[in-house]
Chain A
Amino acid sequence: QKEVEQDPGPLSVPEGAIVSLNCTYSNSAFQYFMWYRQYSRKGPELLMYTYSSGNKEDGRFTAQVDKSSKYISLFIRDSQPSDSATYLCAMNNFNKFYFGSGTKLNVKP
């Protein structure tokens, strides 16, 4: 069993839609939870990170962590074509980081 599971998609939505991206994990020792956006042929860009269970909002993005269910989500409101990318979830246990395989998102104009 992988430490972090993420649906690879692809996920295709119309512009303006609310997007929900999700990951599950198995290790209750994970401490910080991150979401990255990766455009084609570029390095991953950190979008948000959070420590505790609950919600964290940054503009159109909301990260949600439920440690009791070992489940994290990223919501994108009013999605734009520029949001089309691969989204990676990640989490860490001290010095080591564990990544989902990424969900490819396509926002259609």
Chain B
Amino acid sequence: SQTIHQWPATLVQPVGSPLSLECTVEGTSNPNLYWYRQAAGRGLQLLFYSVGIGQISSEVPQNLSASRPQDRQFILSSKKLLLSDSGFYLCASAGGGAETQYFGPGTRLLVL
């Protein structure tokens, strides 16, 4: 199986500040990579997914962006955070056959 690393685990940021969350994957090559946001007590909202380096699909219009500079690295960014960006951000990876996904430990973001 794959191992997904995310950092930081917790982040407290002021409104209007920039954001960079990083995700790296071990144990697979050419994975499909995903960023989700999970609000408290709610389901998973797909934000972005990528099927290869430099290929990003956006699912929800917002002030967030994603980049994939290397095969097993996926970055979530924002130039100016909003209060509504608070949440639990999860990175996930699926093999090329996309049978299933594996998740990282998540980053809890609080925007004040």
Contacts and interface: CB of A to CB of B under 8 A. Distances in A.
A4 to B, nearest CB: 9
A104 to B, nearest CB: 8
Contacts of B34: 97
Nearest to B4: A43
Contacts, number: 57
Q: Which range holds the interface residue count of chain B?
A: 20 to 34
Contact of A42 (B49, B102, B106): B106
Contact of A101 (B1, B43, B102, B105): B43
Given A41-B108, A101-B42, A101-B43, A96 B49 contact: yes
Contacts of B46: 96-97
Query: Is the contact region of chain B dominated by helix, strand, or loop, or is it mixed?
Result: strand
Interface of B: 1, 4, 6, 32, 34, 42-44, 46, 49, 51, 88, 90, 92, 94, 98-106, 108
Interface of A: 32, 34, 36, 41-46, 49, 51, 88, 90, 92, 94-97, 99-102
